Amino acid sequence: MKYFIPKDSAAVSIGAEQVADALTVAAPDAEIVRTGSRGLYWLEPLVEIEHDGRRIGFGPIETDEVSGLVETILGGKPESHPKYVGRIEQLLRDQGQQRLTFARCGVIEPIDFDAFMAHGGTAGLRTALDQSGQTTIDAVKESGLRGRGGAGFPAGIKWQTVHDTPGAEKFVVCNADEGDSGTFADRMLMEGDPFTLLEGMAIAGVATGATRGYIYLRSEYPDAFQTLNEAINIARRHNLLGSNILGSGKSFDVEIRLGAGAYICGEETSMLESLEGKRGLVRFKPPLPAIQGFQSKPTVINNVITLSSVPTILAHSAATYHSLGINKSRGTLTLQLSGNVARPGLYEIPFGATLEHVINELGGGSASGRPVRTAQVGGPLGAYVPASHFDTPIGYEELGERNAMVGHGGVVVFDDTVNMAEQARFAMEFCDLESCGKCTPCRVGSVRAQEVIDQIVAGHDIEANADLLRELMELMAQGSLCAHGGMAPAPVLSALNHFSEDFGVREPAEIN
């Protein structure tokens, strides 16, 4: 019997390692494959077996349930187990998931190169090697793929700029500084299917003429660091990386650089400074990093999920990818659902589902059973969307119309016990802590905003201070170079506008 148990750090954080240990005792002859996570975290630790050629799952499994589980399975009636969840692929389909970027994650052992190949690995890179860089870039453009890190810039246009900029040396930098609270897709992919990221980076290199890649990885992800390091070594042995990739004579290699606990280094220009061994202060743009990036050379900078989505686009077709989604948001969104929600996890679904569907249908509503009051969408710089706006479809422009954003695809759910003035203050504490200090509105404004919110909450001159807070948020939004100061007002203003009662403000502001 073959068992599959995740080695994903989140699954391990709630006991997957102990379950695997118990399984080696309860079923000494069993083959145990340690996979990434399926992203169904409410079922973790999830144990899967291969039964009649299909994968069926049981979860969440506690350590003391393992021997009973093995007995039930060996008894030939797996469906009689109380934790039986059935076929995982069917469950994903029933949820409307389309696993393209995460096709292999949770299915195979992350650093098993043969399994990667058996599940379609390198098909995208082979396509890229068989055609001109321009053809690959055209396909990325045609797919409609936009930056999944938060900015949503069309990936193909960025690649085109790097391709068209002359330079003896060009770079691909993967932004793996996944600092937004409520996001974990990058971590899951790097721990669960690292070869896909390396393949995506190699494609970007081949298409644009870059020969060196860097992965800027946050230091909070020690497991991803280890898995990626092992994957890079294996990839070199199999010529997925190196001086002769897949026998093409082209070269591309990747090195990991660890961040050092600075949220701001997820901002691309700050990340470049950090990669160059400096303080992570944001740069002015222009020049664009695509023209003068790392070491002032043309540089593709994309997020982990953006780069990891390219192999599937090339392996199938740009049109297939583009056929999913709505309006200008094409393909799949790797939605990460967390906070106070019954079924937290990763949902790879086409763009266009409403927040209502995602939070209540997929997520099962709040974990506490209390009414859901709001969800913060798109990370700590994203707006708090009130339940009355949950009819908004998730798309770049669609959320934008409601002053919210897709960001990195994180949705953090809060029930009605949340105090929105507290959340607004926290947004400014965080902005203050993580500001690089370059722009005064961000550096000083975030401190002043905490003081003003304290004044409001204490009941001092509430209306005048609320106006002052709005004015300050406008100043920060307009007067900061990067999204840190520029977007940190979004959670504050959304809290103030939609939940003014939590601040003691009498007249709700005009709400769009």
Looking at this protein, which amino acid is placed at residue 360?
A: N
> Facing residues of 337 across strands?
345, 411
Q: Under 8 Å CB-to-CB from 486, ≥6 apart: which residues?
A: 442, 476, 477, 478, 480
Gyration radius from the chain CA atoms: 23
> In this chain, which of 102, 195, 396, 430 binds other proteins, going by CB under 8 A?
430
> Toward other proteins, which CB reaches closer, 301 or 313?
301
Is 470 in a helix, a strand, or coil?
A: helix
Q: Nearer to other proteins by C-beta: 133 or 409?
A: 409
The Cα 190–Cα 178 span in angstroms is: 11
Residue 499 binds other proteins, judged by CB under 8 A: no
Strand segments (E) across 36-73? 47-51, 54-58
Residues shown for the chain: 512
Task: Give min distance, CB of 340 to other proteins, in A.
Answer: 5
Residue from the set 147, 325, 380, 489 that interacts with other proteins by CB under 8 A:
380
Q: Does position 296 bind other proteins by CB under 8 A?
A: no
**How many CA atoms lie less than 13 Å away from 30 in the CB half-sphere?**
27
Q: Tell me the closest approach of the beta carbon of residue 3 to other proteins, in angstroms.
A: 21
Q: Residue 178 or residue 398: which is nearer to other proteins going by CB?
A: 178
Q: Is 6 in the site for other proteins (CB under 8 A)?
A: no
Site for other proteins in 7-46 (CB under 8 A): 9-14, 39, 41-42, 44
Residue 177 found at the interface with other proteins (CB under 8 A)? no
Label residue 291 left, alpha or beta by phi (over 0 means left) and psi (-120 to 50 means alpha). alpha
Phi–psi pair at 17, nearest 5 degrees? -65, -45
Binder among 101, 312, 423, 465 for other proteins (CB under 8 A): 423
Per CB under 8 A, the segment of 76-84, 179-187, 231-239, 456-464 that binds other proteins is: 179-187
The single residue among 72, 122, 183, 497 that binds other proteins, judged by CB under 8 A, is 183
Q: Closest CB to other proteins among 133 and 266?
A: 266
Minimum CB separation of residue 41 from other proteins in Å reads 4
DSSP-derived secondary structure for 203-262? HHHHHHT--EEEEEE-TT-HHHHHHHHHHHHHHHHTTSSBSSGGGSS--BEEEEEE--S-
For residues 143 and 3, what is the distance between their CA atoms, to the nearest angstrom?
37
What number of other Cβ atoms are within 10 A of residue 391's Cβ?
Answer: 11
Helix axes 445-457, 420-434, angle to 10 degrees: 160
Indicate the residue among 183 and 208 with the shorter CB distance to other proteins. Answer: 183
Q: How many angstroms separate the CA atoms of 91 and 57, rounded?
A: 10
For residue 402, the minimal CB distance to other proteins (Å) is 19
* Number of residues this chain uses to bind other proteins (CB under 8 A): 61
Per-residue interface string for the shown chain with other proteins, residues 66-95, x marking contact by CB under 8 A: ------------------------------
Residue 101 sits in the site that holds other proteins (CB under 8 A) = no
CA distance 178 to 184: 7
Report if residue 433 touches other proteins, rule: CB under 8 A.
Answer: yes
Shortest CB 493 distance to other proteins, Å: 16
Which residue bears the tokens 């939609």?
498
Contact call for residue 152 and other proteins (CB under 8 A): no
Does the footprint of other proteins cover residue 344 (CB under 8 A)?
yes
Q: Using CA atoms, how far apart are residues 94 and 85, in angstroms rounded to an integer?
A: 13
* Nearest distance, CB of residue 115 and other proteins, angstroms: 24
CB of 188 to other proteins, least distance (A): 8
Sole binder of other proteins in the list 260, 319, 458, 464 (CB under 8 A): 260
- Binding flags for other proteins, 402-421, as an x/- string (CB under 8 A): --------x-xxxx--x---
Q: Find residue 5's DSSP bridge partners.
A: 34
Selection from 490, 159, 86, 161 nearest residue 310 by Cα: 159
Using CB under 8 A as the binding rule, whether residue 221 contacts other proteins is answered as yes
Measured distance CA(186)–CA(194) in Å, rounded? 10
CA–CA distance, 389 with 359 (Å, rounded to integer):
12
Name the 3-class secondary structure at 93: helix
List the one residue out of 364, 320, 349, 357 whose CA is nearest residue 97. 349
Q: How far is CA 396 from CA 325, 329, 330, 392, 401, in A?
A: 11, 6, 10, 11, 9
Decide if residue 263 touches other proteins (CB under 8 A). yes
Q: Which of 58, 102, 184, 499 binds other proteins (CB under 8 A)?
A: 184
Binds other proteins (CB under 8 A): choice among 28, 166, 249, 277: 277
Query: Measured from the CB of residue 373, what is the shortest distance to other proteins in angstroms?
Result: 10
The DSSP bridge pattern shows strands 332-339 and 410-415 to be: parallel
Residue 371 interacting with other proteins (CB under 8 A): no
Residue 308 touches other proteins, criterion: CB under 8 A: no
Binding site for other proteins (CB under 8 A): 9-14, 39, 41-42, 44, 178-184, 186-187, 219-223, 257-263, 274-280, 295, 336-340, 344-346, 367, 376, 380, 410, 412-415, 418, 423, 426, 430, 433-434
